[in-house]
Amino acid sequence: MTETGTQTMKSKQDYLPEEIRNSPDVKIYGKIWGLLHNRNRMFSCVIVGKPGRGKSWLSIAMAEMLDRTKLSGTRFKQEHITFGEKEFSEVIRKKHKPGTFIIVDDAGISLYSREALKKEVIALSKIFQTVRYKNLGIILTLPSWAMLDKNIRRLTDAYIEVLDPDLSSKESIYKFQWVEASPLGDTIYRKYPKETKITITMNDIEYKKKYRKVEFRLPRASYLLLQRYEQRKEDYMGKLYTTFYREIHGGKKTHLDQKIEEIYKNKRKYYEEVKGITVISSLLILADPNSGVNNDAVANKVARFLNARMKKERREADATRAVK
């Protein structure tokens, strides 16, 4: 690149915070930061990936990098990580500085049941509609893009898919795509960012070629922020676990306890796929004469309780592997 070209590139990035300006992926992060701080609009993205790949940690790392002004360090704090629609709606109603990032972590455990999934997504969609004109950054983590309501998809600016983490370098590896919704219909396009590569320089003439950049990397967020997140997540999952337990039998020991443990011990026979997620099915529990459950209401509560328990155990296992 010529000296003039280098100076032009630098001048275009002078308005960015140093942390973003020095990132190898400054074109992406600079564009996101510019949307929030120069164009005063909302930015929203969805991070998807299989359990254990680090969706939450990547969302925190991105928020920590992007939630800043040119003259300040990161402003992101653990109170802006929400679990489910209720927490998200409470946080979003508060007054925030322009460019503040808020994370909706897995959108709540209730998304793992069919009935609750529909209600939760509708509620999230309504909130997204009301905050679309706010100058905020919203990151939503989900196991699958298919779980999103089409209205939220149309309001999404970016789609991120987490790949297997690089444990040696402590970096998140992911695919990034810009999302564009057609104004003429329901079609939604996902496009990879394009990079310009200089192929050859002859007689002071640069020959350039554009190519799609597929894989990106981002260093892990600060240890203290991740530690606080894990503690909040553990508290949240513990409360859900207790809530679902009380829903089944009012918090008292009953003959169902033994049956519930037997169902969980043999949980694979009750597995079903719900939009790419493996869950314990209330219908399969009800259909099994040996389950000891003989009505819809109890079957639904048992399934919710055991899915929360299964999710909690998965998270604990993921946290243990991350520490190792």
Q: What is the pLDDT of residues 254-311, one digit of tens each?
A: 566 778 888 888 899 999 887 677 888 888 988 888 887 877 777 887 888 888 888 8
pLDDT band at 107 (very low <50, low <70, confident <90, very high): very low
Contact assessment for residue 305 and residue 282, using Cβ atoms and an 8 Å cutoff: no
Q: How confident is the prediction for the chain on average, in pLDDT?
A: 80
At 48, which amino acid appears?
V
- As given in the structure block, the two tokens for residue 133 are 């004109």
Query: Is domain 3-221 annotated with CATH 3.30.360.10?
Result: no
% of the chain with per-residue pLDDT over 70: 78
- DSSP assignment of 292-309 equals ---SHHHHHHHHHHHHHH
C-alpha–C-alpha distance, residues 257 and 270, integer Å:
17
Least confident of 112-116, 118-122, 187-191, 245-249: 112-116
Query: Where do the structural domains in the chain lie, given as residue ranges?
Result: 3-221, 226-323
Average pLDDT over residues 313-319: 75
Q: What is the pLDDT of residues 135-169, one digit of tens each?
A: 899 999 988 888 787 888 888 999 999 987 776 77
Does residue 134 have a pLDDT over 90?
no
Contacts 24+ apart (CB under 8 A), 133-136: 133/42, 134/42, 134/92, 134/96, 135/36, 135/40, 135/41, 135/42, 135/98, 135/99, 136/36, 136/42, 136/43, 136/92, 136/96, 136/99, 136/100, 136/101, 136/102
Residues 6+ apart with CB under 8 A from 37: 69, 98, 99
- Smallest CA-to-CA distance from 19 within 58, 60, 67 is with 67
- Smallest CA-to-CA distance from 15 within 36, 32, 34, 28 is with 34
